């Protein structure tokens, strides 16, 4: 990709923005990281809390192998170093949402090391504007509980349902230089996590949230002092935080001030960040290896199995759609952005013995007709009232000339309303396309007879009238004539 | 037949199966001993119903000719560090006052499954931090022993398992559970003339045992003799999937393989354990122990454990570091005591609760631990101490090239008077000088009572073995026991 052109125009000239993200992704697992308690979202407060989560005296953590597996799979999906030896550390601090008085995390020896995520700023042609964002590490750690301040006039309540749920903290290098790049990174990361199945990527429910590190500098200069804005839970907010923080930092620096290394909070209502605590008040977390847990040592076989369990990932898939299935760069990008979309598309292709032959028309139909309809109804692809098999049936009728593309749109609408199959609709509504040359020739003869003057004009050189004859013929046949046949026959008859 | 109250585990088992008495009689005998022993302040909670219920189950099983558990019909004392379902468990700390677990620790559950009943929860040093029982929030245990000077100075039973030591030596319970982090089973066992065994780290599950220092804490038996310790440890030990550091190994039948013939065994005598100012009587006893083991067929070799002198400082960094974090959960939010001054916020509540709930020694160790883990000091203290710990383990590994077991004194002195060392934490910490190295290395070790000093107080010798080699530790302990013929017991003054 060409150098980022995102710049803050300050009074003293242009400023460059440097961005790094720490994404916390909740690991998809039925049980918590170190206890058997359920992780389901939305349960009544404190109904999914084990003795371990509540830090009762004498309780001990036991690692959940599934969470370890998901972290390793995620690491493999971003081509990262998998550390066969990793260890859990305690991060000590007091807070009411943290019953143990420490969070079990991995500071010194994370499970996943260096990797990278490929992003693009051009949805139409991702390959033309790609950029690799470095990943420094992924470690696994426990989530905290939730404080509720609105339940009692003088006291706060604690809900420990989320306490102990496994998170992956995915730490990027400060490789991003614009809000757009950061947005593309979060979207791409989310897509990969969803492909892998290690996180549902649901930002509204808090299964994925980002700490946004931002600093500014004059182009080419040393890195500036950064601030970290915590717990930002949408792509749009990530971008807003960067825009706001970058501008704020430039304003501070240009008015002679200094940036303080600090933790900040984002206020989505005002679109602002504000200081939470400065480095001076920062906790001393007194990290040390958790003596309740042995180091995690991974066998080669385990890593191999994790690798074998990975699905085809978005970048590979996109390349295959382009190169093997012959899709346009745009269609390949759109159909692979979400795993569910790609799966839907592939299910559709599976109905054919020669998927390459129907791939392009299926892709075009999905990106225009299907997405348009779903968008209008406010549904996701998994909620589509029309199944891939039904779609294949519809496209098959177009391909074999039974109906025209125009009629197909009509049929699709009826399918969405009634849930009926395409063939049934075509049959019942009599929408079958007329391709019989005899019948069409008969109608053409009638049309020409009724419009003898126009025939003269056409033959006298008014080529534009051809469309008129097509229209008249189609109208006479209630739109069911095969347009290709009509065209051919008209041309032959008129030009004679 | 001797008095029931003089019997240990094996004696009760044999009497029950031989029909000499019923389990109910045993339970009632000891329940009577417990209620008569209040002046010793050894029990925090008495649970006679538990002991009686287990006895009735035992009697039925015996009558029905069923296969019997290893501890059938034996009423034991339970150190208050083990969480017991439905029975208040405080680790002798004010901060857990009123806490009644809804769960049973793995070790106590294993013992109950093996047929043991529980006489009550035993007093101890608060959170197992102490060597004299004086850090208990509920008053110290008084040792059943008295000096032979005709005076009545109250003596320390040792610690932290002081309640356990007191009741076994006072014949108030035939056996008791202990836990050992740096010597908390072995030192009190030596102080009161009983046998105490700390197994290899990981033999006994730590699940449900209130944590002091997780990488060191191990449960073990405290009983009258080596055989009883072997039987009881078999019942306590075993793999527990709920404890990640628990060893996934079968529990050997140690009792069946007891053998005091030490022919072919080499016993190492570590020269670094000859410390300054050690009473001549302890030195002499150590020499006597060497002679006894030779007599049992063993060869004696001199060995060196060069990093021994760094063990105590390393221990007093690692154990408080872990404790400072382990004890963070006692915050007044979910259980135990809470101190909530008027208008207090969260931080104020933490401070007030912990100020009121923790004793001075616990606070001291939390502060030491917090300090050694803090930014800028971590490497100088914690990392360094971990390196020392590795060197100490390597010392033992090298020693095993030339010997199978080590023989040392258990403690550098006999029991001291209550209050004599209470104002000098460093003098108190020195009690653990011989027991701490094997704790740091996670090795099995036991204290065997082998003699009395000039004041008529018990002294113990310690056997240290290779990891997982409990059997040879038991065997060498038995060889000492047979030759020492230690039968002294405190005269009942309470």
Chain A residue with Cα closest to B323: A291
- Are residues B373 and A92, on separate chains, in Cβ contact within 8 Å? yes
Whether B1 has a pLDDT exceeding 60, the answer reads no
Give per-residue pLDDT as tens, B96-121: 999 999 999 999 999 999 999 999 99
Q: Does the domain made of A437-495 have the CATH classification 3.30.930.10?
A: no
Nearest to A90 among B101, B325, B350 (CB): B325
Residue linked to tokens 């400023």: A15
- Are residues A59 and B382, on separate chains, in Cβ contact within 8 Å? no
CA distance B332 to B351: 10
Beta bridge partners of A141: A167
Structure tokens given for B332 = 């007044």
Residue A1 pLDDT: 43
* B1-494 fold: Amidase signature (AS) enzymes (3.90.1300)
Mean pLDDT of all residues in B412-418: 95
When mean pLDDT is compared across A390-394, B89-93, B290-294, the lowest value belongs to A390-394
Catalytic residue among B184, B337, B393, B438: B184
Judging contacts by C-beta atoms under 8 Å, the chain A residues touching residue B102 are: 51
- Are residues A57 and B325, on separate chains, in Cβ contact within 8 Å? no
Active-site residue flag, B79: yes
CA distance A213 to A220: 19
Residue A280 pLDDT: 66
Task: Please report, in tens digits, the pLDDT of each residue of chain A (496 residues total).
Answer: 444 589 999 999 999 999 999 999 999 999 999 999 999 888 999 999 999 999 999 999 999 999 999 999 999 999 999 999 999 999 999 999 999 999 999 999 999 999 999 998 887 777 777 899 999 999 999 999 999 999 998 888 999 999 999 999 999 999 999 999 999 999 999 999 999 999 999 998 889 999 999 999 999 899 999 999 999 999 999 999 999 999 999 999 999 999 999 999 999 999 999 998 776 677 899 999 999 999 999 999 999 999 999 999 999 999 999 999 999 999 999 999 999 999 999 999 999 888 888 999 999 999 999 999 999 999 999 999 999 999 999 999 998 888 888 889 999 999 999 989 999 998 888 888 777 888 888 888 888 888 889 888 888 888 888 889 888 888 888 888 888 888 888 888 887 7
**If pLDDT is split at 50, 70 and 90, which confidence band does B269 have?**
very high
| Min Cα–Cα distance to chain A from B477, Å | 31
Tell me if chain B has a CB within 8 Å of the CB of A90.
Answer: yes
Nearest to B215 among A55, A62, A291 (CB): A291
- Are residues A294 and B206, on separate chains, in Cβ contact within 8 Å? no
Q: Measured at the alpha carbon of residue B357, what is the angle toward residues B354 and B363, in degrees to the nearest 5?
A: 60
Residue B424 pLDDT: 85
| Min Cα–Cα distance to chain B from A52, Å | 10
**Upstream peptide bond of B160 is cis (omega within 30 degrees of 0):** yes
| Min Cα–Cα distance to chain A from B376, Å | 10
Tell me if chain A has a CB within 8 Å of the CB of B383.
Answer: no
Instruction: Give the CB-side neighbour count of residue B415, counting CA atoms within 13 A.
Output: 36
Chain A residue with Cα closest to B381: A288
**The 3-state secondary structure of chain A, one letter per residue:** CCCCCCCEEECCEEEEEEEEEEEEEECCCCECCCCCCECCCCCCCCCCCCCCCCCCCCCCCCCCHHHHHHHHHHHHHCCCCECCEECCEEEECCCCCCCCCEEEECCCCCCECCEEEEEECCCCCHHHHEEEEEEEEEEEEECCCEEECCCCCCCCEEECCCCCCEEEEEEECCCECCHHHHHHHHHHHHHHHHHHCCCCCCCCCCCEEEEEEEEEECCCCCCCCCEEEEEECCHHHHHHHHHHHHHHHHHHHHCCCCCCCEEEEEECCCCEEEEEEEHHHCCCCCCEECCCCCCEECCHHHHHHHHHCCCCCHHHHHHHHHHCCCCCHHHHHHHHHCHHHHHHHHHHHHCCCCHHHHHHHHHHHHHHHHHHHHHHHCCCHHHCCCCHHHHHHHHHHHHCCCCCHHHHHHHHHHHHHHCCCHHHHHHHHCCCCECCHHHHHHHHHHHHHHCHHHHHHHHCCCHHHHHHHHHHHHHHCCCCECHHHHHHHHHHHHHC
Structure tokens given for B52 = 């009686």
Active-site residue flag, B242: no
Chain A residue with Cα closest to B349: A96
Whether B421 has a pLDDT exceeding 50, the answer reads yes
Residue A2 pLDDT: 45
Give per-residue pLDDT as tens, B310-319: 999 999 999 9
Residue B134 pLDDT: 95
- Are residues A58 and B328, on separate chains, in Cβ contact within 8 Å? no
Q: What are the boundaries of each domain within chain A?
A: 8-305, 309-429, 437-495
Nearest to B207 among A58, A63, A286 (CB): A58
Structure tokens given for B361 = 């020694």
Give per-residue pLDDT as tens, B231-252: 999 999 999 999 999 999 999 9
| Min Cα–Cα distance to chain A from B207, Å | 6
- Are residues B242 and A60, on separate chains, in Cβ contact within 8 Å? yes
Residue A221 pLDDT: 93
The pLDDT > 90 percentage for chain B reads 95
- Are residues B329 and A101, on separate chains, in Cβ contact within 8 Å? yes
Chain A residue with Cα closest to B383: A288
Chain A residue with Cα closest to B350: A94
Tell me if chain A has a CB within 8 Å of the CB of B245.
Answer: yes
Residue A279 pLDDT: 67
| Min Cα–Cα distance to chain B from A227, Å | 21
Q: What is the overall mean pLDDT for chain B?
A: 97
Tell me if chain A has a CB within 8 Å of the CB of B90.
Answer: no
- Are residues B325 and A284, on separate chains, in Cβ contact within 8 Å? no
| Min Cα–Cα distance to chain A from B342, Å | 11
Helical (H) or strand (E) element with B450: strand B445-452
The sign one gets for the Cα dihedral B13, B15, B19, B24 is negative
Give per-residue pLDDT as tens, B378-399: 999 999 999 999 999 999 999 9
**If pLDDT is split at 50, 70 and 90, which confidence band does B7 have?**
very high
Q: Which of A33, A35, A46, A57 to mutate: most B Cβ within 10 Å?
A: A57
Q: Which of A56, A58, A99 to mutate: most B Cβ within 10 Å?
A: A58
Q: Which of A148, A154, A141, A135 is nearest to B342 (CA)?
A: A154
Nearest to A286 among B105, B243, B370 (CB): B370
A-B CB pairs within 8 A amount to 100
Tell me if chain A has a CB within 8 Å of the CB of B101.
Answer: yes
Whether B2 has a pLDDT exceeding 80, the answer reads no
Chain B residue with Cα closest to A54: B334
Assess contact for A61 and A291: CB atoms under 8 A. Answer: no
Tell me if chain A has a CB within 8 Å of the CB of B95.
Answer: no
Tell me if chain A has a CB within 8 Å of the CB of B91.
Answer: yes
Catalytic residue among B70, B79, B121, B265: B79
Q: Which residues of B20-48 are buried (b: 16+ CB within 10 A; e: fewer)?
A: ebbbbbbbbbbbebbeebeebbbbbbbbb
Tell me if chain B has a CB within 8 Å of the CB of A153.
Answer: no
**Between A492 and B415, where is the model more confident?**
B415
| Min Cα–Cα distance to chain B from A286, Å | 5
- Are residues A62 and B331, on separate chains, in Cβ contact within 8 Å? no
Q: What are the boundaries of each domain within chain B?
A: 1-494
| Min Cα–Cα distance to chain B from A132, Å | 35
Tell me if chain B has a CB within 8 Å of the CB of A107.
Answer: no
Catalytic residue among B160, B169, B438, B439: B160
Tell me if chain A has a CB within 8 Å of the CB of B411.
Answer: no
Active-site residue flag, B184: yes
Judging contacts by C-beta atoms under 8 Å, the chain B residues touching residue A92 are: 324-325, 328, 373
- Are residues B375 and A284, on separate chains, in Cβ contact within 8 Å? yes
Assess contact for B195 and B449: CB atoms under 8 A. Answer: yes
Mean pLDDT of all residues in B172-198: 98
ipTM: 0.96
Whether B215 has a pLDDT exceeding 70, the answer reads yes
Tell me if chain B has a CB within 8 Å of the CB of A145.
Answer: no
Residue linked to tokens 């020896």: A109
- Are residues A292 and B244, on separate chains, in Cβ contact within 8 Å? yes
CA distance A233 to B277: 66
Residue B166 pLDDT: 98
- Are residues A101 and B242, on separate chains, in Cβ contact within 8 Å? no
Tell me if chain A has a CB within 8 Å of the CB of B244.
Answer: yes
């Amino acid at each position: 990709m060409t150098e980022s052109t995102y710049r803050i125009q300050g009074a003293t000239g242009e400023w460059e923005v440097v961005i790094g993200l720490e994404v916390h992704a909740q690991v998809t697992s039925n049980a918590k990281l170190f206890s058997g308690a359920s992780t389901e979202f939305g349960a009544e407060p404190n109904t999914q809390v084990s003795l371990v989560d509540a830090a009762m005296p004498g309780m001990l953590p036991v690692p959940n192998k599934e969470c370890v597996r998901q972290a390793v799979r995620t690491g493999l999906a971003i081509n990262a170093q998998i550390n066969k030896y990793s260890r859990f550390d305690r991060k000590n601090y007091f807070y009411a949402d943290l019953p143990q008085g420490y969070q079990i995390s991995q500071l010194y020896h994370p499970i996943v090391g260096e990797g990278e995520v490929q992003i693009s700023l051009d949805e139409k042609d991702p390959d033309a504007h790609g950029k690799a964002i470095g990943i420094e590490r992924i470690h696994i750690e426990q989530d905290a509980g939730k404080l509720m301040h609105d339940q009692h006039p003088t006291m706060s309540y604690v809900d420990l349902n989320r306490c102990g749920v496994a998170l992956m903290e995915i730490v990027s290098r400060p490789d991003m230089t614009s809000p757009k790049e950061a947005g593309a990174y979060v979207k791409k990361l989310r897509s990969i996590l969803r492909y892998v199945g290690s996180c549902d990527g649901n930002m509204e429910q808090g299964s994925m949230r980002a700490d946004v590190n931002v600093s500014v500098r004059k182009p080419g200069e040393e890195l500036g002092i950064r601030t970290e804005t915590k717990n930002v839970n949408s792509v749009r907010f990530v971008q807003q935080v960067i825009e706001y923080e970058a501008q704020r930092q430039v304003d501070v620096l240009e008015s002679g001030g200094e940036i303080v290394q600090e933790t900040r909070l984002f206020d989505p209502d005002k679109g602002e960040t504000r200081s939470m605590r400065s480095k001076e008040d920062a906790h001393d977390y007194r990290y040390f290896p958790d003596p309740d847990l042995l180091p995690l040592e991974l066998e080669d076989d385990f890593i191999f199995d994790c690798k074998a369990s990975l699905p085809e990932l978005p970048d590979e898939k996109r390349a295959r759609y382009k190169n093997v299935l012959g899709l346009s760069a745009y269609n390949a990008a759109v159909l692979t952005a979400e795993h569910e979309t790609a799966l839907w598309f592939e299910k559709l292709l599976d109905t054919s013995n020669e998927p390459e032959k129907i791939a392009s028309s299926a892709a075009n139909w999905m990106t225009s007709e299907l997405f348009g309809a779903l968008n209008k109804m406010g549904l996701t692809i998994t909620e589509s009232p029309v199944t891939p098999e039904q779609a294949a049936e519809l496209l098959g009728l177009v391909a074999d000339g039974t109906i025209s593309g125009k009629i197909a749109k009509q049929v699709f609408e009826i399918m969405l309303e009634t849930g009926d199959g395409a063939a049934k609709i075509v049959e019942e509504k009599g929408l079958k396309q007329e391709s019989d040359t005899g019948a069409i020739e008969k109608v053409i003869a009638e049309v020409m007879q009724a419009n003898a003057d126009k025939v003269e004009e056409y033959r006298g050189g008014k080529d534009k009238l051809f469309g008129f004859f097509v229209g008249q013929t189609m109208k006479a046949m209630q739109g069911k004539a095969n347009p290709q046949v009509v065209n051919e026959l008209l041309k032959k008859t008129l030009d004679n | 037949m001797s008095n029931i109250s003089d019997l240990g585990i094996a004696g009760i088992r044999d009497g029950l199966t031989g029909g000499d008495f019923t389990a109910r009689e045993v339970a009632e005998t000891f329940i009577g001993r417990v209620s008569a022993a209040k002046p010793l302040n050894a029990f925090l909670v008495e649970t006679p119903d538990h002991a009686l219920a287990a006895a009735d189950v035992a009697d039925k099983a015996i009558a029905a000719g069923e296969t019997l558990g290893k501890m059938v019909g034996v009423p034991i004392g339970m150190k208050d560090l083990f969480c017991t379902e439905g029975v208040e468990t405080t680790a002798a700390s004010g901060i857990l006052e009123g806490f009644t677990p809804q769960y049973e620790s793995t070790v106590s559950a294993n013992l109950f499954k093996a047929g043991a009943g529980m006489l009550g929860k035993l007093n101890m040093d608060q959170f197992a931090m102490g060597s004299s029982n004086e850090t208990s929030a509920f008053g110290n245990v008084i040792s059943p022993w008295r000096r032979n000077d005709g005076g009545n100075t109250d003596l320390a039973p040792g610690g932290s398992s002081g309640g356990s030591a007191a009741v076994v030596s006072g014949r108030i319970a035939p056996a008791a559970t202990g836990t050992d982090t740096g010597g908390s089973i072995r030192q009190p066992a030596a102080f009161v003339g009983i046998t105490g065994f700390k197994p290899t780290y990981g033999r006994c599950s730590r699940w449900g045992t209130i944590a002091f220092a997780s990488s060191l804490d191990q449960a073990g038996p405290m009983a009258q003799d080596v055989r009883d310790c072997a039987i009881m440890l078999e019942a306590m030990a075993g793999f527990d999937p709920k404890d990640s550091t628990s060893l996934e190994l079968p529990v050997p039948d140690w009792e069946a393989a007891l053998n005091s013939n030490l022919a072919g065994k080499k016993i190492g005598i570590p020269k670094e354990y000859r410390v300054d100012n050690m009473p001549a009587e302890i030195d002499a006893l150590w020499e006597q122990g060497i002679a006894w083991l030779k007599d049992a067929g063993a060869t004696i070799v001199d060995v060196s454990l060069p990093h021994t002198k760094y063990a105590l400082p390393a221990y007093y960094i690692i154990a408080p570091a872990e404790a400072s974090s382990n004890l963070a959960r006692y915050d007044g939010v979910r259980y135990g005591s809470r101190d909530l001054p008027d208008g207090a916020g969260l931080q104020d509540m933490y401070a007030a609760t912990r100020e009121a709930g923790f004793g001075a020694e616990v606070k001291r160790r939390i502060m030491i631990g917090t300090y050694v883990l803090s930014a800028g000091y971590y490497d100088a203290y914690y990392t360094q101490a971990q390196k020392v710990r590795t060197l100490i383990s390597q010392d033992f590994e090298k020693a095993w090239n030339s010997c199978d077991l080590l023989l040392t004194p258990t403690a550098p002195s006999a029991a001291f008077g209550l209050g004599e060392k209470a104002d000098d934490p460093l003098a108190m910490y020195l009690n653990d000088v011989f027991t701490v190295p094997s704790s740091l290395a996670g090795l099995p070790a036991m204290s065997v009572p082998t003699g009395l000093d000039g004041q008529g107080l018990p002294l113990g010798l310690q056997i240290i073995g290779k990891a997982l080699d409990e059997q040879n530790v038991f065997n060498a302990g038995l060889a000492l026991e047979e030759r020492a013929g230690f039968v002294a017991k405190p005269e009942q003054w309470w």
